[in-house]
Amino acid sequence: MAPVVTLHEVEEGVAQITLVDRENKNMFSEQLVRELITVFGKVNGNERYRAVVLTGYDTYFALGGTKAGLLSICDGIGSFNVTNFYSLALECDIPVISAMQGHGVGGGFAMGLFADFVVLSRESVYTTNFMRYGFTPGMGATYIVPKRLGYSLGHELLLNARNYRGADLEKRGVPFPVLPRKEVLPHAYEIARDLAAKPRLSLVTLKRHLVRDIRRELPDVIERELEMHGITFHHDDVRRRIEQLFL
């Protein structure tokens, strides 16, 4: 089976993690999740790396849960919180830059927002579309989306579940670079290059300090999201929406 997550060193001190699950368009398949956890473990274990770029392929960054995965939660079999893979960028020892050159959907968008730096594409779609299917958001989205985008815009995304182009979010004043798709990855490399010029120990120490509160508060948020899933996820209407609306 060909790998769907790759790791390579772009230049000295800079690692790149690329999601390339073309069959599933970078949805959170079991293989993608498993390999993503493994690759981040390799990054943390490699003293050469001082920054890491997380990106996707073509027009896809990450598209969130698979249809089968969502239906398993409906049936009370699965849970989005089995591995906490969505917060790997937050837990990574070194700074992570999410180069979201492609669409970021649901948990895929939330995963990108857990990075230390975010770069968006003007052409791509970003959405927290959980409520479109009738269930409340998970994967830490209720915390990280308002924290990174601001209270008003974050709550708007979470509640209305609409699609927003990067250009739309740029007009709304998101605090990230929003660039033409072809410029997203080069800009992420510039950020990573600046970071890689610093001592690794200092980067690790400062990141640990900067994200300390998020790491401490996130488990309680996840617990409350799971409680909401227990209320909202198991209705027939949710299953019907997943079956009919999931592309």
Query: Which stretches in the chain have pLDDT values below 50?
Result: none
Give residue 82's pLDDT.
66
Confidence at residue 31, expressed as pLDDT on a 0 to 100 scale: 95
Active site residues: 229
Task: Give yes or no for a contact between 141 and 133, defined as CB atoms under 8 angstroms apart.
Answer: no
60 CB neighbour count, 10 Å cutoff: 23
Distance between CA 144 and CA 150 in Å, rounded?
10
Residue 212 gets the label, from left (phi > 0), alpha (psi -120 to 50) or beta, of alpha
What is the per-residue pLDDT for 61? 98
Structure tokens at 204: 């690790």
Measured CA to CA, the distance from residue 85 to residue 186 in angstroms comes to 26
Spatial distance between the Cα atoms of 160 and 155, rounded to a whole number of angstroms: 8
* Model pLDDT, residue 47: 95
Q: In what order do the strands lie in the sheet with 103-105?
A: 60-62, 103-105, 125-127, 164-165
Go through the domains of the chain in sequence order and give each one's CATH number.
5-181 (3.90.226.10)
This prediction has a pTM of: 0.95
Distance CA 158, CA 131 (A): 7
**pLDDT given at position 67:** 86
Q: Which residues contact 40 (CB under 8 A, 6 or more apart)?
A: 17, 88, 91, 92
Helices 212-232, 200-210: crossing angle, 10 deg rounding: 50
